[in-house]
Structure 1
Amino acid sequence: MKLYPLFADVSGLPVLVVGGGSVALRKAKALLDAGADVWVGAPRFEPEVVAWIEAGKVQGRHGEFEPAWLDGMWLVIAATDDRALNASIAAQAKERRTFANVVDDAALSQFHVPAVVDRAPLTVAISTAGAAPAIGRRIREQLERVLDHSLGALVALAQQHRARIVGRFPDTAARRGFYDWLHDGPVLSLLRQAKPGQAGQALQEALEDERPPGSKGSVALVGAGPGHPGLLTLQALRELQQADVILYDQLVSPEVLAMARRDAECIDVGKRCGGRQVAQEHTHRLMLAHAREGRRVVRLKGGDPFVFGRGGEELAYLRRHGVDCDVVPGITAAVACAAFAGIPLTHRDHAQSLCLLTAHGKDAADTLGDQVSGHPRQTLAIYMGVEKLEALATELISRGRDAATPCAIIENGTLPRQRVMVATLATLTSQARRHALKTPALLIIGEVAAFARQHAWYGELVDDAGHEVGTVPVEMEAV
């Protein structure tokens, strides 16, 4: 079946929904949202439909279907559970040249209701001509991930200035170039930042400028999450697919990097413990240089850019040099690794607070303060602490932590090679050596760490006696 795609303006037009159940309720709601004059007919109605009728939101026809209900209607949706009745409604609608849709019956329908991605006033509709609606819904899910939620505001802004845009760019090719700038330049970025006034001002200035607008460079500080591509945020994915240049850290997994735009220039600026080092100042200069060349730059950082990621330094540097910059948060390692190890970071019986620490520095003990170390009902999540386990454990015990306090080390968290080792403060160092645990790894200290013994569900788990106690087969699923 081949359908002619059509978007219908039903505002103020009478339309009929036959049926009073949950399906009819959904169809009536969609028509109300489109501004239609909705009539609903059935022997019985859902309570919400009754409330709509009593409030005057819809017109009700109570009883068995009658052909006269179709008089004057522009559309009808048959949403009863009686296929013969639905077929009769569709046939009588066709005699009146009224478009009919029969729910879940493509053969009887003159129009189909598609799966919709709503970025009003931008609407994307997906139809399989009734052949496989479930596949249409899956495609809708994919489009929801990649279509920026600010696109609706961008389309509305373009609509407001449409006459001026046409007047300023009478040549079709030049006008197309302006709309490309509108999408790729600062206007959409400002709308993402909830600055509609500034976005409108940028558009007006571009229209008043005698020179055609060019795409101004920008930088997005993007959190890549802990490594599993399924944990990448939708906004991070959009940024990767629009980037001209990507400056990425060591902890960004190949699976996440593979989701970037295929022709993007990818530059490794990662720092490796005891190995290759890229000075932060060099990364600053790279961001600035590419942005000044008019490129869209993504500074891609493992976890979250503002959690032990120097994102604050980079944001301040870019702002000082007048570069447009926004921030896309990522799922930080403490949250993700704990979840993949079955460890609740807070628990009303065991931990009422959480402290994130880094052991990266000249003296690991410097990261521990009296206010965090002696609290038995507090979870400590320590980044980059594997190489300083002995100093950390000794310091915590000296500050009042029980030597029997549960600990967990999560190596390669959220990746297929993840390992979780559960120990205590007293056995932490020896067991980590025994299993040759290496970075990247996250250390969790507190009563909640013991949950991993029963609830770790991903990757490999070993107990503090050194025995493997479970391996979960895992598959990496991309967004």
Structure 2
Amino acid sequence: MQHFPIFLDLQGQTVAIAGNGEFALAKLRLLLKTQARLTVYAPAPEADLRALIAAHAVTLIQRAATADDLTGVALAYAAHGEAQADAQFAARARSVGVLVNVVDNLEASAFITPAIVDRDPVTIAIGTEGAAPVLARAIKTDLEEKLPQGLGPLARAGKLFRPHAEALPQGRRRRDFWADYYFETGPQVLAEVGEELLEHALHDILRRHLEAGEPQGRVDLVGAGPGDPELMTQRARRLLDRADVVIHDRLVPAAILELARREAQFIPVGKEGFGPSTPQDQINAAMIRHARNGAHVLRLKGGDASVFGRLDEEAEALTEAGIDWAVTPGITAASAAAAVIGRSLTQRGRNSDLRLLTAHDINGFADHDWRSLARNGSVAAIYMGKRAARFLQGRLLMHGADGATPVTLVENASRPDQRILATRLDRLTADLAAAAPSGPVLTLFGLAPAKAAETLPTLLEEMA
């Protein structure tokens, strides 16, 4: 992040704009939304600019600004649309320590002005580090359509009521109060009777929350999906946003954890096949302890919580402890990997069943019905099979599997660094060793990529 986003208090501060035409006009229109004192330096202002200045009693100085003029100014905008004039103004502003923005010149600017969605006092700023203003405007348009116009009145009433809300302790109880107001009772009151009764509604909501006492802790067991934040369910994202404590697996990427509240407590409980792992008893104890302290706990698992996620053990421990819990499913890695290679996991005339297998369990390599799996047309999605590849290959070949059976391995399915290895059973171990994937791998036995090989980025190609 090169440009750090902040919201600057401009009440009573002076902002200088230098320019005669459309660039200065655009900046003036934006800055008129603030409470700043605005001064425009324009030797020959065009008619539209002059009219806007007159309509809002903006100070107009019909000459170029000097360094003395700019001393003490909070912000300055060089908006001539002409390189030499902008450079001269910017140099004078910098000489007296004023932050300056040169319109359409990122390199010469000390700050950039983001695209803004205005629901005063709710303000959303959208920036792209100056790289893609068109993208920022598209995001702004999308948000403008989604955010109700009533958001402003709700926020204004809420802002005035904040001192009263301090009767509730900081943390979950206060957040629950504001969530009730902003997302349930407040919008209903605004729609039915109008803004004038919002304060009355706030007092009523506060009374109810004070009488309710301490909230009960609970645990949500949530599948985060294969790693792409866009493949999370809407419910999973809502729960992540509300959680006080997030107990997460190793396979949950930072891009998903960043969707949680900044104030949330994060507890990593990594598990890795044949590697260091957090004991399940410790995970259960952490969930129970935080829930008993009144926290909303999110047990966040990669993929789907019910597929090789030890869901039953955790649910049983929570039930025995008297903790309320619920399960939110997620997209499992098998589905994500099949989507990556463009294949169906089941196909009429090929396989009428699908095996979801783990390559190892708590006792080591896992045994399966190899003879059945080795039959022609069988399809299996094998989890945690990277280190067990030689074992899997040997068992299948020993039980009659054809060495030419296609095998596709997908590393980091759905993530930006996903990679694909298309091979066959008799070459599986050698090709996997040559590719040496470092991330989690899902093995699709009996499936080859649907797309032409040259269109797929493969592990072996990246090594060449």
TM-score range, shorter chain: 0.5 to 0.7
Which of 428, 434, 458 is the aligned partner of 1:461? 458
- Which residues in structure 2 correspond to 1:319-358 (within 5 Å)? 319-358=319-358
Q: Distance in 1 between the 2:299 and 2:241 partners? A: 13
2:230 matches 1:230: yes
Distance (whole Å) between structure 2 residues aligned to residue 304 and residue 177 of structure 1: 38
User: In the alignment, does 2:177 pair up with 1:176?
Assistant: no
| Contact preservation (8 Å) 1:386, 1:438 | no
d(CA) in 2 for partners of 1:288, 1:383: 29
Q: Take 2:147 and 2:331, find their aligned partners in 1: how far apart are those partners?
A: 21
* Residue 369 of structure 2 is aligned to residue 364 of structure 1: no
Q: Which residue of 2 aligns with 1:259?
A: 259
Alpha-carbon distance in 1 for matches of 2:237, 2:263: 15
Give 5+ residue unaligned stretches, structure 2.
1-136, 149-179, 189-199
Give the drift of 1:390. Answer: 1.1
Task: Name the counterpart of 1:245.
Answer: 245
Which whole-Å deviations, capped at 9, do the CAs of 1:1-53 have from their partners, x for residues lacking one?
xxxxxxxxxxxxxxxxxxxxxxxxxxxxxxxxxxxxxxxxxxxxxxxxxxxxx
Q: How does 1:116-135 map to 2 (within 5 A)?
A: none
Distance in 2 between residues matched to 1:273 and 1:430, nearest whole Å? 21
Shift of 1:352: 2.7
Q: How far 1:387 sits from its partner (Å)? A: 0.5
Alpha-carbon distance in 2 for matches of 1:178, 1:397: 70
Verify the 8 A CA contact 2:371 2:399 in the aligned structure 1.
no
Q: Within 1, Cα distance between the matches of 2:397 and 2:147?
A: 50
- RMSD between aligned residues: 3.5
Deviations along 1:77-132, whole A, 9 cap, x unmatched? Answer: xxxxxxxxxxxxxxxxxxxxxxxxxxxxxxxxxxxxxxxxxxxxxxxxxxxxxxx9
User: In the alignment, is the contact (CA less than 8 A) between 2:247 and 2:300 conserved in 1?
Assistant: yes
CA distance in 2, matches of 1:301, 1:142: 31
CA drift at 1:273: 4.0
- Mapped to 2, the partners of 1:351 and 1:456 lie a distance apart of 27
| Cα distance per residue 1:143-199 (max 9 Å; x no partner) | 9xxxxxxx9xx969xx9xxxxxxxxxxx97774246558xxxxxxxxxxxxxxxxxx
What is the deviation of 1:411? 1.0
Does the CA-based 8 Å contact 2:393-2:428 persist in structure 1? yes
What is the SS of the residue equivalent to 1:426? helix
Check whether the contact 2:248–2:301 (CA below 8 A) recurs between aligned residues.
yes
Letter in 2 for 1:450: A
Quick check: 2:408–2:423 contact (8 Å CA) kept in 1?
yes
Amino acid at match of 2:316: A
Q: Which amino acid aligns with 2:416?
A: P
Match of 2:297 in 1: 297
1:340/1:456 contact within 8 Å kept: no
1:276 alignment counterpart: 276
Per-residue deviation, 1:247: 0.4
Q: Secondary structure at the match of 2:387?
A: helix
Residues 408 and 422, structure 1, Cα contact 8 Å, conserved in 2: yes
CA distance in 1, matches of 2:453, 2:393: 24
Q: Is the 8 A contact 1:365 1:391 kept in 2?
A: no
Q: What SS does structure 1 have at the residue aligned with 2:431? A: helix
Deviation at 1:136, TM superposition (A): 6.0
**1:438-469 Cα distance to aligned partner (Å, 9 max, x none):** 441010111xx2225527977x225xxx4469
CA distance in 2 between partners of 1:286 and 1:312 (Å): 16
Pair 141,227 (structure 1): closer, same or farther in 2 beyond 3 Å: farther
Shift of the alpha carbon at 1:212? 3.6
Contact 1:389 1:429 (8 Å CA) reproduced: yes
SS at match of 1:443: strand
CA distance in 1 between counterparts of 2:348 and 2:385 reads 27
Q: How does 1:370-409 map to 2 (within 5 A)?
A: 370=370, 372-409=372-409
Q: Which residue identity does 2:377 align to in structure 1?
A: R
For residues 227 and 180 of structure 1, the distance between their equivalents in structure 2, rounded to whole angstroms, comes to 37
Separation in 1, partners of 2:400, 2:302: 33
| Conserved? CA contact 1:224–1:303, under 8 Å | yes
8 Å Cα contact 1:223/1:300 also seen in 2: yes
Q: Distance in 2 between matches of 1:401 and 1:142?
A: 57
Q: Give the count of matched residue pairs.
A: 287
CA distance 1:391–1:137, shift in 2 (3 Å): same
The amino acid of 2:267's aligned partner reads: I
Alpha-carbon spacing, 1:290–1:357, altered in 2? closer, same or farther (3 Å): same
- Aligned mates of 2:288, 2:454 — CA distance in 1: 43
Q: Give, in whole Å, the separation in 2 of the partners of 1:394 and 1:283.
A: 35
Distance change >3 Å, CA 437–CA 133, structure 1 → 2: closer
CA contact (8 A) 2:408 2:449 kept: no
Task: Name the CA distance, whole Å, in 2 between partners of 1:271 and 1:455.
Answer: 33
With over 3 angstroms needed to count, the CA separation of the structure-2 counterparts of 1:323 and 1:455, relative to structure 1, is farther
> 1:342 touches 1:457 (CA, 8 Å); kept in 2?
no
TM-score (norm 2): 0.55
Q: Does 1:285 align with 2:285?
A: yes
User: Measured at CA, do residues 212 and 228 of structure 1 come closer, stay the same or move farther in structure 2, by a change above 3 Å?
Assistant: closer
What is the identity, as a one-letter code, of the residue corresponding to 1:330? G
Paired residues of 1:342 and 1:455 also in contact (CA < 8 A): no
> Residues 429 and 179 of structure 1: is their aligned pair in 2 closer, same or farther, counting only changes over 3 Å?
farther
The answer as to 2:417 corresponding to 1:417 is yes
Corresponding position of 1:220? 220
**CA drift at 1:379:** 1.1
Label 1:260 to 1:415 Cα distance change in 2 as closer, same or farther (>3 A): same
Question: Following superposition of structure 1 onto structure 2, how do residues 9-48 of structure 1 map, counting pairs within 5 Å?
Answer: none
| Residue 434 (structure 2) pairs with residue 437 (structure 1) | no
Would the alpha carbon gap of residues 240 and 426 (structure 1) be closer, same or farther in structure 2, given more than 3 Å must change?
Answer: same
Structure 1, 300-309 or 432-441: larger mean CA deviation: 432-441
Q: For the residues of structure 2 that align with 1:404 and 1:141, how far apart are their CA atoms? A: 53
CA 1:388–1:134 in structure 2 vs 1: closer, same or farther (change >3 Å)? Answer: closer
TM-score, normalised with respect to structure 1: 0.54
Q: In 1, are the aligned partners of 2:371 and 2:400 still within 8 Å (CA)?
A: no
Q: In the alignment, is the contact (CA less than 8 A) between 2:371 and 2:396 conserved in 1?
A: no
Residue pair 1:411, 1:419 contacting (<8 A) in 2 also: yes
Counterparts of 1:65-76 in structure 2, within 5 Å, are: none
- Label 1:139 to 1:273 Cα distance change in 2 as closer, same or farther (>3 A): farther
CA 1:269/1:365 → structure 2, altered by over 3 Å: closer, same or farther?
Answer: closer
Equivalent AA in structure 2 for residue 364 of structure 1: F
